[in-house]
């Protein structure tokens, strides 16, 4: 109706928001004949030719009378009890003798809790706010009221029916010649204001009545209780795609979410909805149509139906680790040059991909070409004792390292300057969804020649800081990839730069909101029902 796809919705959201597609699915699952039988029990007399009606019945494909329509809603207000329509209550002659008198014969047509559940949904203004907004004509201030609007094709008919426990009012707006009204003449636009003003006037300052709350007994089947298969978060080796094990290096581990997106026919048999899930959902003639539409939506959201791996990482084993040795300089050697020259030997069963050089715990350089040595200026390094770690890795992060210490003695002493760091990505007040991960983090550095490294962090709502990654500074900038998916919520990101001379700089924090899925709609209606 509003040309939007709202994703998985509960019955409460669908009914309160007047969503058409869930309504069509509901009548299919229930059965057209069952729906017509219930309608007739509620007092509708215009649906007798059952063979004439299809799924469009739920969208206004069957003519109804305003009086019968309104009286049917009264059965919900009366918690399942229907009273016959009575226009004339009594006929007397001129002497006051009763000639005819209406005798009320009520009938139970609904279980009380079904009526209470319906009352709870139709009186839930928060549930309809994503379509109608919070300030709509279907509320009466602090007085609880249940209401439903309706609009037929081409704006021929606009309806609003609403009730308290003691009064129900129905409003129809349209042309007597069945000519369509102006575009946009929805039930909430042209009928609801009439209903709202009349109900306010007739109820006046009468005591406020409340609907009895429903007994929300669970159906015992998750999908019927509004619970979709939860996302499974699993630690995966990003290279093999298999489950991480004790040998998988931290750099190769990502937390991956596996989400299953299916239509309701995947979970239930419409002829036995509380029974087991169907072994062959495709046997239902509607399954492919419904399932393909859901899968198309899921693809747009970045959701991929994929089974969780059952096998474990088989490419990270101790026997696959490289062998590395530092040939020069030797341990505890004194270095007086401005240039650090390192020579290594490295072999690996899977081949050596790179050698990483760390000085005092900070990534100093990476060599990706044989023989993987290093020759780089250390003019910014302070005099004194330093440790050097050389880490040799293959292409899937099987790594081994060797550590030595060296003493630096230089004639010149550089001027110690103030360093700075600014987080440039993600953007300020960014809003992302969990399927945007991995996300790239970027920071710019001031006086980078004296910066040993940049570390990226995030804080959760409780203010607890967690390290994301440490990065080398290249061309006055640092980057890191956050691969693990954050749960929906508010977070703050920041970067911290540390200098070779003990300097410390921290960026301003950037607020980021992680959403489960894109917002379906604002609380301001685009086209209200």
Predicted confidence at residue 526, as pLDDT, reads: 29
The whole-model pTM stands at 0.61
How many domains, in total, are found in the chain? 4
Q: Are residues 294 and 383 in the same domain?
A: no
Residue 414 falls inside a structural domain: no
Q: Are residues 425 and 380 in the same domain?
A: no
Structural domain including 505 reads 420-515
Residue 517 in this model has a pLDDT that exceeds 70: no
Across residues 65-93, what is the average pLDDT? 96
At 167-195, the pLDDT tens digits run 999 999 999 998 999 988 999 999 999 99
Is residue 461 a contact partner of residue 489, using CB atoms and an 8 Å limit? Answer: yes
Residue 413 falls inside a structural domain: no
Pick the last residue of a domain from 174, 203, 232. Answer: 203
At 252-287, the pLDDT tens digits run 998 887 777 899 999 999 999 999 999 999 999 999
Q: Are residues 295 and 383 in the same domain?
A: no
Q: Are residues 332 and 233 in the same domain?
A: no
Predicted confidence at residue 230, as pLDDT, reads: 65
Across residues 447-458, what is the average pLDDT? 93
What are the C-alpha distances in Å from 184 to residues 174, 353, 526? 13, 64, 10
Gap between the Cα atoms of 460 and 490, Å rounded:
7
Pick the last residue of a domain from 355, 387, 408. Answer: 408
Rounded to the nearest integer, the mean pLDDT of the chain is 91
Question: pLDDT class for 411, splitting at 50, 70, 90?
Answer: low
Predicted confidence at residue 280, as pLDDT, reads: 95
Predicted confidence at residue 226, as pLDDT, reads: 79
Question: pLDDT class for 225, splitting at 50, 70, 90?
Answer: confident
In 13-50, which positions are buried (b, 16+ CB within 10 angstroms) versus exposed (e)? bbbbbbbeebbbbbbbbeebeebbeebeebbbeebeee
Between 8 and 45, the higher pLDDT residue = 45
Element (H, E) at 128: helix 125-132
Task: Bin 406: left if φ > 0, else alpha if -120 < ψ < 50, else beta.
Answer: beta
Q: Are residues 31 and 141 in the same domain?
A: yes
Q: Are residues 53 and 165 in the same domain?
A: yes
DSSP of 417-436, one letter per residue?
Answer: ---EEEEEESPTTEEEEGGG
At 325-348, the pLDDT tens digits run 999 999 999 999 889 999 999 999
Q: Are residues 399 and 424 in the same domain?
A: no
């Amino acid at each position: 109706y509003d040309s939007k796809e709202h994703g998985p919705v509960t019955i409460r959201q669908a009914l309160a928001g007047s969503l058409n597609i869930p309504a069509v699915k509901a009548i299919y699952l229930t059965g057209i004949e069952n729906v017509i039988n219930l309608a007739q029990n509620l007092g509708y007399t215009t649906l007798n030719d059952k063979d004439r009606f299809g799924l469009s019945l739920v969208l206004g494909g069957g003519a109804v009378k305003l009086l019968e329509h309104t009286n049917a809603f009264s059965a919900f207000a009366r918690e399942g009890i229907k009273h016959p329509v009575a226009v004339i209550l009594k006929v007397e002659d001129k002497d006051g003798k009763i000639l005819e008198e209406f005798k009320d014969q009520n009938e139970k047509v609904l279980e009380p809790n079904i009526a209470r559940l319906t009352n709870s949904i139709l009186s839930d203004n928060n549930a309809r706010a994503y379509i109608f907004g919070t300030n709509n004509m279907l509320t009466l201030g602090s007085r609880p009221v249940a209401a439903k609007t309706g609009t037929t094709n081409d704006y021929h008919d606009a309806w609003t029916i609403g009730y308290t426990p003691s009064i129900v009012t129905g409003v129809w707006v349209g042309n007597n010649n069945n000519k369509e009204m102006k575009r946009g003449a929805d039930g909430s636009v042209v009928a609801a204001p009439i209903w709202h003003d009349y109900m306010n006037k007739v109820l006046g300052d009468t005591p406020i009545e409340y609907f009895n709350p429903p007994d929300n007994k669970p159906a015992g089947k998750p999908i019927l209780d509004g619970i979709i298969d939860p996302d499974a978060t699993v630690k995966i080796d990003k290279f093999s795609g298999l489950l991480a094990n004790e040998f998988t290096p931290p750099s190769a581990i990502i937390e991956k979410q596996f989400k299953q997106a299916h239509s309701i026919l995947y979970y239930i048999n419409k002829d036995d909805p509380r029974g087991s899930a169907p072994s062959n959902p495709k046997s239902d003639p509607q399954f492919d149509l419904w399932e393909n539409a859901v899968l198309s939506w899921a693809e747009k959201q970045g959701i991929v139906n994929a089974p969780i791996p059952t096998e474990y990482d088989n490419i990270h084993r101790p026997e696959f680790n490289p062998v590395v040795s530092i040939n020069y300089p030797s341990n505890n050697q004194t270095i007086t040059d401005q240039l650090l020259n390192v020579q290594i030997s490295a072999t690996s069963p899977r081949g050596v991909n790179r050698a990483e050089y760390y000085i005092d715990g900070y990534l100093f350089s990476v060599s990706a070409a044989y023989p993987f040595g290093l020759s780089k200026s250390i003019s910014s390094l302070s005099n004194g004792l330093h440790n050097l770690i050389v880490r040799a890795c293959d292409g899937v992060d099987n790594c081994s390292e060797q550590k030595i210490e060296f003493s630096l003695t230089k004639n010149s002493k550089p001027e110690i300057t103030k360093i700075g760091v600014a987080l440039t990505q993600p953007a300020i007040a960014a809003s992302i969804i969990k399927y945007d991960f991995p996300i790239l983090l970027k920071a710019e550095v001031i006086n980078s020649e004296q910066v040993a490294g940049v570390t990226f962090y995030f804080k959760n709502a409780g203010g607890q800081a967690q390290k994301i990654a440490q990065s080398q500074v290249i061309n006055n900038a640092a980057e890191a990839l956050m691969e693990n998916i954050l749960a929906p919520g508010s977070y703050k990101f920041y970067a911290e730069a540390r200098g070779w001379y003990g300097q410390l700089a921290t960026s301003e924090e950037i607020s980021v909101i992680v959403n489960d899925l894109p917002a379906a709609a604002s609380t301001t209606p685009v086209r209200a029902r």
